[in-house]
Amino acid sequence: MNKGFFYRFMVRWFVCALGLWIAAGLLSTDIEFQTSGSKVGVVIISGLILAAINAVIKPLVVLLSLPAILLTLGLFMVVINGFSVLLASWLYEPLHVASFWTAMLAGVIIGLVNYLVTAILESQDKQA
C-alpha cells in the first residue's frame, strides 16, 4: 500500500516528537522543554520543527557529506542527526539542548525510536 507524503510526514512528526520526549526524559539535565504552560505543546512543535528539518535540510546534508558517510561506514549519520537536533534547538527557543554531544545522543535515541515505530508499522502493513 503506497502511503502519501502527508501520511509519511505525520508519522515522521510523531516519531520525532516521541523521540524528543524520550530523550528529554533520559537526558533530563541536558535537554529541557522550557515553558510556563504545557510541555505537550512544546514537544509537538519541537517534533514538527525536527521533522521539517529531517524532510528538507537533512537530505541535502547527507548528499553533501556522502564521502564522510561512506568513509565511516555510516557512523557520520550520528553527527548529522545530532546537527539536526541542535538546529531544531536553535530555531525553537523552548527546546533547550545543552551541547552538541547531548544533541548527538538525542539523535541516537530518536533514531532508535524511529526504527522501533517503523518496524511496528511495517509489521501491521504486512498483516493487513
What tens digit of pLDDT does each residue of 11-53 get?
A: 999 999 999 999 999 988 888 888 777 789 999 999 999 999 9
What pLDDT shows up at residue 1?
45
Q: Which residues contact 96 (CB under 8 A, 6 or more apart)?
A: 31, 32, 33, 34, 89
The 10s digit of each residue's pLDDT in 67-79 is 999 999 999 999 9
Supply φ then ψ for residue 96, to 5 degrees. Answer: -115, 120
Cell of 125: 502493513
The whole model's pTM is what?
A: 0.89
CA distance 109 to 74: 16
- Percent of the chain scored above 70 by pLDDT? 97
What pLDDT shows up at residue 101?
94
**Helices 100-127 and 5-26: angle between axes, nearest 10 degrees:** 130
Mapped onto helix, strand or coil, the DSSP state of residue 68 is helix
Q: Quick count: other Cβ atoms within 10 Å of Cβ 85?
A: 30
Q: What is the mean pLDDT of residues 90-113?
A: 93
